[in-house]
């Protein structure tokens, strides 16, 4: 349980769902973890849980759509842990609408949280990794719908598709610094965000979740399963992997 022993990590959107699972697993694997989220109550609870289990954690309140918040989150992590080795850009939201039904404000907010945040956090974190001279790992969380389209999910698909290509561009730009940048593309995962999509679409939750499970493995994923994939990309186990997109979706895209 030491795949990240001695590493310092920042995870955005870490108060719940996939982000929470990643933060807890990284701490179990030896990392000091900065838990960044807009939800102070649940975010602090995650940090407290890690500390209670004997790990090292810090909660940082952060609206990832704001440059000042992203800069502060990175600064707080570095101040607390003495550096930064791993960043997981996980924060995300969804609005299930077609382009005709989607409000401009919703487009702007989803694009800011899902795509712009990757730029903002990485812009603040990468120079710190460069100055340290030890490389680093950045894991950007996209989605299966960043690779294929989905009905009534225009802005979500657009934002997650942007994350895939931004990952590839970043991987090229910082390979010489041994900063690896990879992308994680989860399929439907049992989180509160997924279940809230049923309400957005006006569908019964049970039917919505049953439809989401219609994939070769016959179920939706668990946040802990996605976290294991994030651990692989963050750790030295993937030392020769950069610019890649790892699909973790129970065979859905297959």
Residue in 89, 242, 229 with CA at minimum distance from that of residue 159:
89
Which residues are the active-site residues?
156
Residue 227 has pLDDT above 90, yes or no: yes
d(CA 93, CA 79): 29
d(CA 179, CA 155): 29
Residue 18 has pLDDT above 80, yes or no: yes
Per 3-state DSSP, the chain is made up of helix, strand and coil in percentages (nearest 5) of 50, 15, 35
- Residue 45's pLDDT is 98
d(CA 141, CA 164): 9
DSSP string covering 174-225: HGGGTEEEEEEEE-SBSSHHHHHHHHHHT--HHHHHHHHT-STTSSPBPHHH
Q: What is the domain range of residue 134?
A: 8-248
| Torsion from C-alpha of 104, 106, 108, 110, nearest 10 degrees | -150
d(CA 45, CA 27): 14
User: Binning pLDDT at 50, 70 and 90, where does residue 194 land?
Assistant: confident
205 in any annotated domain: yes
Q: How far is CA 191 from CA 21, 71, 157, 196, 229, in A?
A: 11, 28, 18, 9, 17
- Residue 229's pLDDT is 98
In this prediction, residues 105-122 reach a mean pLDDT of 98
176 in any annotated domain: yes
In this prediction, residues 12-33 reach a mean pLDDT of 98
109 in any annotated domain: yes
63 in any annotated domain: yes
In this prediction, residues 70-88 reach a mean pLDDT of 98
Residue 175 has pLDDT above 80, yes or no: yes
- Residue 1's pLDDT is 75
Residue 139 has pLDDT above 90, yes or no: yes
User: Binning pLDDT at 50, 70 and 90, where does residue 192 land?
Assistant: confident
- Which of 1-5, 35-39, 63-67, 234-238 has the lowest average pLDDT? 1-5
254 in any annotated domain: no
Tens of pLDDT, residue by residue over 200-218, are 999 898 998 999 999 999 9
**Overall number of domains in the chain:** 1
- Residue 193's pLDDT is 87
118 in any annotated domain: yes
Residue 89 pairs in a beta bridge with 140
Residue in 109, 141, 163 with CA at minimum distance from that of residue 223:
141
- Residue 166's pLDDT is 98
Exposure pattern of 73-85 as b/e (b: 16+ CB <10 Å)? Answer: bbebbbeebeebb
Residue in 127, 135, 148, 144 with CA at minimum distance from that of residue 75:
127
In this prediction, residues 215-238 reach a mean pLDDT of 97
d(CA 137, CA 225): 19
- Residue 195's pLDDT is 87
In this prediction, residues 80-90 reach a mean pLDDT of 98
Tens of pLDDT, residue by residue over 26-59, are 999 999 999 999 999 999 999 999 999 999 999 9
* Helix segments in 29-153, DSSP class H: 40-52, 67-81, 104-111, 117-132
In this prediction, residues 20-26 reach a mean pLDDT of 98
Which CATH number characterizes residue 219's domain? 3.40.50.720
224 in any annotated domain: yes
Number of Cα atoms under 13 Å in the Cβ half of residue 195: 7
80 in any annotated domain: yes
User: Binning pLDDT at 50, 70 and 90, where does residue 198 land?
Assistant: confident
User: Binning pLDDT at 50, 70 and 90, where does residue 183 land?
Assistant: very high
pLDDT averaged over every residue in the chain: 97
């Amino acid at each position: 349980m030491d795949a990240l022993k001695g590493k310092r990590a920042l995870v955005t959107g870490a108060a719940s769902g996939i982000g929470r699972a990643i933060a807890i697993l990284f701490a179990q694997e030896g990392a000091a973890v900065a838990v960044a989220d807009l939800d102070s109550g649940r975010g602090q609870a995650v940090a407290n849980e890690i500390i209670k289990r004997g790990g090292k954690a810090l909660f940082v309140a952060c609206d990832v759509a704001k440059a000042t918040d992203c800069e502060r989150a990175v600064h707080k992590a570095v101040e607390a842990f003495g550096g930064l080795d791993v960043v997981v850009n996980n924060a995300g939201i969804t609005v299930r609408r077609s382009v005709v039904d989607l409000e401009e404000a919703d487009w702007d907010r989803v694009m800011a949280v899902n795509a712009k945040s990757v730029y903002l956090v990485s812009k603040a974190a990468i120079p710190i990794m460069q100055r340290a001279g030890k490389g680093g790992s950045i894991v950007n969380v996209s989605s299966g719908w960043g690779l294929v389209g989905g009905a009534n999910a225009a802005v979500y698909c657009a934002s997650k598709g942007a994350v895939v290509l931004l990952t590839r561009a970043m991987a090229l730009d910082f390979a010489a610094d041994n900063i690896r940048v990879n992308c994680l593309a989860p399929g439907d995962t049992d989180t509160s965000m997924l279940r809230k999509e049923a309400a957005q679409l006006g569908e019964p939750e049970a039917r919505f979740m049953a439809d989401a499970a219609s994939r070769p493995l016959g179920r939706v994923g668990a946040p802990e399963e996605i976290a294991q994939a994030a651990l692989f990309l963050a750790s030295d186990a993937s030392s020769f992997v950069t610019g890649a997109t790892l699909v973790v979706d129970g065979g859905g895209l297959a």
